[in-house]
Amino acid sequence: MRTAAAIVLTAMPEEAEPFLAKARATRRVGELTTPSTFRAWFLELASPRILLVQSGIGQTAAASALTWALGQVSTRDVFFSGTAGGLHPSVEVGDIIIGSTYRYGMADATAFDYEFGQVPGQPPEFTCSPRVLDIVEQLENDRVTTGLMLSSDSFVTAKNVDAVRQAFPTALSTDMESVAAAQVCHAFGTQFAAVRAVSDLCGPAADQDFHMALDEAAVLAAETTLEIISVLRGGGTPGRRRRQFGLDALFAALFAVVAIDNGLEPVDATDLNLDLSDLSRDLHDEQVRSFAELIAAGKQFVADNPSARITSQRYDTLRAEILEDLNLVGGRGRQTWPPTSQTIMKRFDGYWNNAMTAIGLTGGSGRRRGGLRYSDEDYREAIRLYHEAMSAERRNPSYSGYQQWLSSQDKPYPSGASIRQHFGTWADAILSLYSEN
């Protein structure tokens, strides 16, 4: 049996086309003969090749095509790449959803004591590849989010969206194939992940954009899928590199947000002494000059008020407002300036307090580093308590969510970076909870 770097399923031709176009540009594309109406190609986009399958729409089409594909190649990883309907009120068109868990949206065997959404004889939900989730935690893309993904043979529209949201309040998206593919992978013991870009909203608010072109959304999903596969195979990002901000750009973002948070007026930036060239990749020259004066005001405020404080949560709130004002919300798959608090923390060993100290703020209330040593039980207690808190709120645990939870605790616990280092990956930390049972 031939080996493949991954099997990638798509439902529609528009969802397969970004993969085919990329392969045709510089590499050979070989179409396979299939026993049904679905189509399949070998693409030299990774080593070994990727098996791309266009299954057709619906759960039966996806399940049958994937079963055939798993008989053609040996692989560790299966992806479903395509578009989806945005279900959760927080989801916007252009967001990229990667399912951390998968459930059937309309399956009802509750009369026989099964959970709503559970097929008899199957687990209540199927899970994403832990290796993929670990990579997702590291992606420099503000539009990517993970969570519960639903599938059904019925469309979710404004007429029935409230009932679906009531049954699955944390569900982010809905489609017609992902969960069937997840069930097949569960049966075969193969790792699975669905990567879906939101092209439509199931129940949009009055002020929300509710539609994006199918081919545009498909490109977003395909790019993210290929990026993850590239990392899984030990390579860099395919076709583009993750954006790296210089330290001066990070300092500039912090000073700008400090200025906004304190309602400061812009000041002369002649002696700012910061390299703002990174800002020019997102902003016009006039915008850069305006921000320079705001950054200068924030820098002076920090020098005069070293005991001031701004939290990472407050920073991200004000950052979102800046992006909205600049019409750069989400960046359409790009990492834009100002960067997220997570991006800043990654450059300072995973600690927000380190970033605060770097710009001259000494009034942080967080625990000091180096003064505490944690036992294995401390790490497990931190993960267990955080997981319980998320379960009570019916939210999925995540690295960024842990960092936010940590800031609200009276007792000191290991940082998110320390958790990762102790367990190996964030996904392994979560999985450790299940290995104890």
Sequence-separated (6 or more) residues with CB below 8 Å from residue 6? 46, 50, 51, 75, 76, 77, 78, 79, 229, 232
29 forms beta bridges with 43
Residue ranges of alpha helices (H) inside 120-233 are 130-136, 161-167, 178-188, 214-232
Give the C-alpha distances (Å, rounded to integers) separating 245 from 183, 280, 281, 339: 41, 12, 11, 8
CA 139: distance to chain centroid?
7
State the catalytic residue, choosing from 142, 175, 200, 282: 200
Residue ranges of alpha helices (H) inside 178-311 are 178-188, 214-232, 247-261, 285-304
To the query of whether residue 200 is one of the catalytic residues in this protein, the response is yes
Torsion angle of the four alpha carbons 403, 407, 412, 418, in this order, in degrees rounded to the nearest 10: 20
To the query of whether residue 321 is one of the catalytic residues in this protein, the response is no
- Closest listed residue to residue 176, CA positions, set 15, 6, 396: 15
Q: How far apart are CA 258 and CA 136, in angstroms?
A: 29
Q: Cis omega before residue 48 (within 30°)?
A: yes
User: Are the beta carbons of 356 and 364 closer than 8 angstroms?
Assistant: yes
Q: Tokens representing 311?
A: 């939290």
State the catalytic residue, choosing from 14, 15, 125, 134: 15
Give the C-alpha distances (Å, rounded to integers) separating 384 from 282, 413, 426, 434: 41, 12, 13, 10
Catalytic residues: 15, 200
